[in-house]
Amino acid sequence: MCLAIEKMKEKGRREEREKSLMAIEKEHEKTLKAIEEREKSLKALEEEREKSSKALEEERKNGICNLIEGCRKLGETFEKTCQLLMMCYHLTQSEATAYLKEYYV
């Protein structure tokens, strides 16, 4: 009779372990799924950030080009336009000069 009770207890413990392992596996799967979703979100966020950075840089170049064109039409000197670029767009003199050489036609 003791042997039968021991076997029943062992079977109960085995079933409990199996239930625990299944619960752990389910939780592990949920965690992996959450990680995958987060990685997808981070990738999408990074792509949007890159698009925004490119768009911002393009708008900045357009602004610089427009400032140069406006100064040229108003008859401003090369030096004065260079100073305005440095002041408005926080450029160094060499950066401003490079833009002027490119766009001051």
Q: How confident is the model at residue 13 (pLDDT cuts 50, 70, 90)?
A: confident
Q: What is the DSSP string of 91-104?
A: --HHHHHHHHHHH-
Element containing residue 5 per DSSP (H, E): helix 2-74
Q: Tell me: the pLDDT tens digits for 76-93? A: 999 999 999 999 999 999
| Phi/psi at 29 (5° precision) | -60, -40
Q: Which residue has the tokens 């965690």?
A: 31
Q: What is the mean pLDDT of residues 42-63?
A: 95
* Local confidence band at 15 (pLDDT 50, 70, 90 cut-offs): confident
* pTM for this predicted structure: 0.63
